[in-house]
Amino acid sequence: MSDTNRQKREFEDQIQVLIKDEVSFKITFSKPRHQNKVVGNAYLKPSVIKNKTQYSLTYRYKNRDEVKNYAKEQVGGVLDHLLGNMFFNAALFTGDTEITLLQNKKGNASIITRQVDQIAKIETTHDHQKERLITVKSTWLQDLGLAGKDGNILDKSQDKYRQINKYVEIIDQLIKDYPADEIINIADMGSGKGYLTFALYDHLTNTKKMRCKMTGFELKQEIVGLCYNTAIKEGFVGLTFQQKNIEDVDTTGIDMVIALHACDTATDMAIAKGIQSGARYIVMSPCCHKQIRQSMHHDNVLSPILKHGILEERQAEILTDGLRALIMEANGYRTQVFEFISTEHTSKNLMITGVKSTPDTAAQQKVEDIKKMFGIEYHYLEKLLTIENPVSAPK
């Protein structure tokens, strides 16, 4: 039996024990295999449906979620399919333990077990609704498909609901010192269905009573139409949507640039727009770190470790976002990079924030040293920040 098959079987056996003992758990499946081109993530957990325990599997596609329920006798086959054909990695959460299965294309696999500080209570019915900045009473949640006609958040939308609440909570703290008498002008790059756009606008105008002008930029005409009409229906007079590429957006006068899961270099485009306009705040949640991974040609002390594909991939992600932060610092932003929501809910859980400050004169040399160490010719964000777009002075 190969290393991968052995570790996969060990991981699946642990889950079967939990099922047999009727112990609650959650599993997040990530890193799609080559043949899986449509499902980004999957989530499995026990659910009580009509007083009977079943196992709900949520498939997360690009523009929708699909939920299927299985009897306990079917879970073994489902796991085998997910880990053998659809995903490389899986993280199992149960009680105070997190068990992660890591596989790669070369047939290598490992299991990592760690204890978490806080014991997680795993619900088998619906998620406990703690007090949140965006309440379930917000009618736009129904219009955008996050809530049903009864006003309750749909089961398939619970993770997204948590995510936008956490995002708004972070931005709320970031701008706590923003002058109360000034309008805040926000650009949401790649706004998609507008979950974050509506949530942030609703919170700023209706909860914080701020004057806000906000525009969501999205390429898909039907989504722009849906969001535009929903904003009109809600009476959100300062919220609008435009069908436009990020590179075509005019950010003159913008105070904040945000982007939730802008793919690969789209994150760099959004950051560049913020820097070039001298925005006070830049808030990014990046995903799909391809550019640096494809351009790395390293020959350094870490190369013996990075021969393992999964470790090289993670290193590329760290370099991509670490260099983004340094480039922002070189261009006059005080940055933070942190995990904004648990990997239990999404693997796209990193956030980069920037607040307009003064340039760090040493940051650019650090960028050059890191690129040299890993054989990186350029970072795409650097390419976007040309001499014709000098660093703006703080507002």
**Model pLDDT for residues 302-347, shown as the tens digit of each residue:** 878 878 878 888 888 899 999 999 999 999 999 999 887 554 444 4
Domain with CATH 3.40.50.150 in the chain: 140-384
- Report which of residues 330 and 394 the model is more confident about: 330
249/29 Cα distance (integer angstroms) = 35
pLDDT average, residue stretch 284-293: 83
pLDDT value at 209 more than 80:
yes
pLDDT value at 128 more than 80:
no
Most confident of the following: 48-52, 179-183, 388-392: 179-183
Q: What percent of the chain shows pLDDT beyond 70? A: 90
For 146-183, b/e burial (b = at least 16 CB within 10 A) is bbeeeeebbbbbbbbbbbbbbbbebbeebbeebeeeee
pLDDT average, residue stretch 87-115: 87
Pairing of strands 239-243, 256-263: unpaired
User: What is the CATH class of 140-384?
Assistant: alpha beta
At 122 the pLDDT is 47
pTM of the entire structure? 0.64
250/245 Cα distance (integer angstroms) = 10
Q: How many residues are given for the chain?
A: 395
**Model pLDDT for residues 63-89, shown as the tens digit of each residue:** 678 889 999 999 999 999 999 999 999
At 2 the pLDDT is 57
pLDDT value at 52 more than 90:
no
